[in-house]
Chains A and B, each alone.
Chain A
Amino acid sequence: MKRQLLFLWQILFLALLLIPPLTKGQSTIGRGKISGDFSFSGMYYLPDSLINATEVEEKVRANTYLNLLYTNANFSVGARYEFYLFPLIDFEQIGYKGQGITYFFADYKNDFLQVTAGSFYEQFGNGFTLRAYEDRALGIDNSLYGARVKVTPYSGINIKAIWGIQRKNFDFNFMERKDFVRGGDMEVVFDEIFPKMSERGFSTSVGGSFVSKYENPKDVTLKLPANVGVWSLRFLFRYKGFRIESEYANKINDPNLGNGFIYKNGEALFITTSYSQKGLGVSLSFIRTDNMDFRSQRNTPNTTPLLQINNMPSINHQYTYALLGNYSFVSQPNGEIGLQLQANYNIPKKTKIGGKYGTDLTIHYSRLHDIDKQFVAASDSLGSLKGTDGYISHFFKFGKNLLYQDIGFEMSRRLNSHWKLGLEYNFLTYNLHLLQGEADTNLFKGHHAGVEVQYKINSRHALRLDAQHLYSKQDMGSWLHLLIEYSISPHWFFSVADAWNYGNSQKEKKIHYFNVAATYIIKTTRISLQYGKTREGILCSGGVCRTVPASYGVGLSVITSF
């Protein structure tokens, strides 16, 4: 405990020290410049048996990291130091615990060539073959450690090649790893080569990529492939306001823990088409994925984002509401088929219906099923498919199980210089059994309605009220969520919030999850202090989610970039 507090103080002290020299101006060495960012997010945990926040041994915990970047003309070098020795409990649960320099690189870039040595992030196309990325809020860091070369031999032609070992939390024994990833991507943008196309309103580009993973194929029972490859082809076509883009990917036999060690090839298809003009946008997307989970190590469970080489996008609507976090759909790389439709319309300003300032409307619908599967004969008397081709699947046939559906409507409008109003309604269907492994096979159905009112008191002070109601008879039942936020531009935010699970079928679980917070912002530094309860559930950020345990306590975060 004492050690913990000492550690907290050290970090805080350092954070405060950091602010003055770095806000004065840009640090420079010779003609280069140093920039960076620092983030500390700590919490003092309190036990609360009602919400299931268990007592933790180390009550003071924090996630801390520092990024530094030095740039001098075409050269840059950078590094990140992460201190997660006593991480927030949700990070500890996913094994994100340790400390060290987890990211460092040297990079040279001119108009023709870019060479990177060390750690890097990279994405080919939509990420079907390769997506090395980070999402720090969720503890995802799939960076590669190795080398990358990008070449632009002619304007409009881009070639990339990569080789690397994927980061695995705080495991620094790269030399002992028996797995690595290598691949290449090429893209041709025709309207860059032929500028006349653009003038006539056309855009076309095509691309393709191939990524292969090597892993030591040691296994007693199966003859495993040492190399697993994924290839993909993609295109984009636009004529004036009409666009269509698509990507198809295929993975060659990859028996792994997630697919039950079957040898079937994987494939994925993504098509999205849209039409838009000023004030109106409509888009329709289709996705089908089948056995596309692709990792550096075949024994990684597919419940974690660890060692994921590629990334299948989830095409459903991305909600940001805490109440809907628990029912947020995450893409199922091993089998999903579905579509999404969205329309955005702006009723022009200074019209009868649009009002003085105009009105924004959005409607969206998405529906995702599992895929059709006809299983082959089992390989043993226990019914296991291990070592077989698993199943066959009709490409365009929807599976019989609905995984997820959302139907929603949003409207926002400024009424006058003081008042702004937002209204929202959503109907959600979510398969708790197949997506979260709940025993209950009933689909979750919830009606969600939200009202957001903003009152601008004067040019700097504003008050925001956000009220949401989720009505449901399944899972945890109905919720009411209220948030009042007072802001003083540009420095202060104060908020009080309460999420009340009034519809829980168990009387003692009709709990209030209250939260109070104060935030101070100056330039690119944000300091915030928060006290309250967080419910057990799913935390989402930008459409990727992970489960978080219930917690209760006081939190402090300091984030700055310089």
Chain B
Amino acid sequence: MKKIFFFILFCYFVNPIFSQEDSQTAKFSTLPSVDIKTLDGKNFNTKDIDNDGKPIIISLWATWCRPCIEELTAIAELYEDWVEETGVKLYAISVDDSKTASRVVPFVNGRAWEYEVLQDVNSDFKRAMNVVDIPYLCVLNEKREIVWQHTSYAPGNENEIYEVVKKISNK
């Protein structure tokens, strides 16, 4: 208990001091460097997530997670327009483990999703991002900094996501 308390106190002190000192670079965090896989079984480091200075959306999902699929389906209906208007790219990173990992490819194709799909089979990226529950979604700006993030999905969230994406692409 004491340890937690001291940590929180520590946060209170550390946060204002350092965010002032280095406000430009420290305002937003960037992606951690974690080795995950592409759907072809190639290695992929998450720091290589890129979209040539255009906005990026990252979604952590799984084939057994209903709200995740609901969210990605809702975005899929609008995705063509989003790409056309803002050049955004969505990375759908599946945390399916070996029970269902081999069904990710047919699942994604079966849904006709146009996303970049990656596989994080032992949740290493999820852990490095401090994500507790999925669905988790974040938006990255032109410098690949996480400017917006959210857990869970409620119908209509896609509108807010798009507002954020538009703001970045209009900059």
Q: Is B171 part of the contact surface with A, judged by Cβ < 8 Å?
A: no
- B103-A24 in contact (CB<8A): no
**Residue from A189, A357, A559 within 8 A of B43 (CB atoms):** A189
- A543-B64 in contact (CB<8A): yes
A487–B67 Cα distance when bound, in Å, is 13
CB contact under 8 A between A489 and B103, given known A21-B12, A346-B110? no
Interface of B is mostly: mixed
Q: Is B150 part of the contact surface with A, judged by Cβ < 8 Å?
A: yes
Q: Which residues of B have CB within 8 Å of A26? A: 19, 26-29
CB contact under 8 A between A121 and B124, given known A27-B15, A35-B130, A562-B130? yes
User: Distance (Å) between the CB of A129 and the closest chain B CB?
Assistant: 12
Q: Is A1 part of the contact surface with B, judged by Cβ < 8 Å?
A: no
Interface string of B6-18 (1 = CB under 8 A from A): 0110011011001
- A461-B121 in contact (CB<8A): no
Q: Which residues of chain A from 478 to 518 have any CB-CB distance to chain B below 8 Å in the complex? A: 487-490, 492-493
A272–B96 Cα distance when bound, in Å, is 15
- A344-B106 in contact (CB<8A): yes
Q: Is B53 part of the contact surface with A, judged by Cβ < 8 Å?
A: no
CB contact under 8 A between A123 and B160, given known A34-B14, A559-B133? no
Interface string of A327-371 (1 = CB under 8 A from B): 000010000000000111110110000000110101000000000
**Residue from B26, B73, B101, B127 within 8 A of A360 (CB atoms):** B73
Q: Which residues of A have CB within 8 Å of B19? A: 24-28
Q: What is the size, in residues, of chain B's interface with A at 8 Å between Cβ atoms?
A: 70
Interface string of A434-468 (1 = CB under 8 A from B): 00000000000000000000101001111010000
Q: Is B83 part of the contact surface with A, judged by Cβ < 8 Å?
A: no
- B27-A281 in contact (CB<8A): no
Kindly report which residue of chain A lies nearest to residue B18, judged by CB atoms.
Answer: A28
Kindly report which residue of chain A lies nearest to residue B151, judged by CB atoms.
Answer: A524
User: Distance (Å) between the CB of B78 and the closest chain A CB?
Assistant: 10
- B98-A313 in contact (CB<8A): yes
User: Distance (Å) between the CB of B154 and the closest chain A CB?
Assistant: 4
Q: Is B142 part of the contact surface with A, judged by Cβ < 8 Å?
A: no
Interface string of A136-152 (1 = CB under 8 A from B): 10000000000000101
- B42-A203 in contact (CB<8A): yes
A71–B128 Cα distance when bound, in Å, is 10
User: Distance (Å) between the CB of A238 and the closest chain B CB?
Assistant: 6
- A313-B97 in contact (CB<8A): yes
Q: Is A133 part of the contact surface with B, judged by Cβ < 8 Å?
A: yes
Q: Which residues of B have CB within 8 Å of A241? A: 109
Q: Is A315 part of the contact surface with B, judged by Cβ < 8 Å?
A: yes
User: Distance (Å) between the CB of A313 and the closest chain B CB?
Assistant: 4
A123–B99 Cα distance when bound, in Å, is 13
Q: Is A263 part of the contact surface with B, judged by Cβ < 8 Å?
A: no
Interface string of B146-169 (1 = CB under 8 A from A): 000111101111011000000000
User: Distance (Å) between the CB of B102 and the closest chain A CB?
Assistant: 4
Q: Which candidate, A61-69, A169-177, A385-393, is the interface stretch facing chain B?
A: A61-69
Q: Is A551 part of the contact surface with B, judged by Cβ < 8 Å?
A: no
Q: Which residues of A have CB within 8 Å of B77? A: 349, 357-358, 414
CB contact under 8 A between A281 and B109, given known A25-B15, A37-B130, A523-B150? yes
**Residue from B66, B127, B151, B154 within 8 A of A320 (CB atoms):** B66
Q: Is A530 part of the contact surface with B, judged by Cβ < 8 Å?
A: no
Q: Is A17 part of the contact surface with B, judged by Cβ < 8 Å?
A: yes
Q: Which residues of chain A from 25 to 50 have any CB-CB distance to chain B below 8 Å in the complex? A: 25-31, 33-37, 39
Q: Is A285 part of the contact surface with B, judged by Cβ < 8 Å?
A: yes
Q: Which residues of chain A from 407 to 422 have any CB-CB distance to chain B below 8 Å in the complex? A: 412, 414
Q: Is A283 part of the contact surface with B, judged by Cβ < 8 Å?
A: yes
User: Distance (Å) between the CB of A330 and the closest chain B CB?
Assistant: 10
Q: Which residues of chain A from 102 to 127 have any CB-CB distance to chain B below 8 Å in the complex? A: 109, 111, 114, 121-123, 126-127
- B108-A281 in contact (CB<8A): yes
Q: Is A94 part of the contact surface with B, judged by Cβ < 8 Å?
A: no
- A526-B110 in contact (CB<8A): no
Interface size on A, as a range, is: 35 or more
- B130-A561 in contact (CB<8A): yes
Q: Which residues of A have CB within 8 Å of B73? A: 360, 412
Among B22, B108, B132, B152, max chain A CB count under 10 A is at: B132
**Residue from A21, A272, A311, A331 within 8 A of B15 (CB atoms):** A21
- B157-A489 in contact (CB<8A): yes
- A281-B99 in contact (CB<8A): no
- B43-A24 in contact (CB<8A): no
Q: Is A54 part of the contact surface with B, judged by Cβ < 8 Å?
A: no
Q: Which residues of A have CB within 8 Å of B22? A: 28, 31
- A66-B12 in contact (CB<8A): no
Interface string of B31-42 (1 = CB under 8 A from A): 011010000111
Kindly report which residue of chain A lies nearest to residue B99, judged by CB atoms.
Answer: A313
A31–B25 Cα distance when bound, in Å, is 9
- B64-A542 in contact (CB<8A): yes
- B99-A315 in contact (CB<8A): yes
- B110-A318 in contact (CB<8A): no
Taking Cβ atoms with an 8 Å cutoff, the residues of A that contact B are 10, 14, 17-18, 21-22, 24-31, 33-37, 39, 66-69, 71, 74, 76, 81, 83, 101, 109, 111, 114, 121-123, 126-127, 131, 133-134, 136, 150, 152, 156, 158, 189, 191-192, 198, 203, 205, 236, 238, 241, 243, 245, 272, 274-283, 285, 311, 313-315, 318, 320, 331, 342-346, 348-349, 357-358, 360, 362, 412, 414, 454, 456, 459-462, 464, 487-490, 492-493, 519, 521, 523-524, 526, 542-543, 559, 561-562
5 pairs of A and B residues whose beta carbons are closest in the complex: A344-B110, A281-B106, A489-B156, A281-B110, A276-B109
* CB pairs A–B below 8 angstroms (30 shown): A21-B15, A24-B15, A25-B28, A28-B19, A30-B18, A66-B7, A123-B122, A126-B101, A134-B123, A150-B35, A189-B43, A191-B42, A205-B42, A241-B109, A274-B103, A283-B105, A313-B97, A314-B99, A315-B99, A346-B111, A357-B77, A358-B112, A456-B156, A460-B159, A461-B156, A462-B155, A493-B154, A521-B154, A524-B136, A524-B150
Additional pairs, 20, CB under 8 Å, beyond known A358-B77, A559-B151: A10-B1, A21-B11, A24-B15, A27-B14, A36-B130, A68-B7, A81-B3, A122-B122, A150-B35, A236-B41, A238-B40, A274-B102, A283-B102, A344-B111, A362-B110, A460-B156, A489-B160, A524-B151, A526-B152, A561-B132
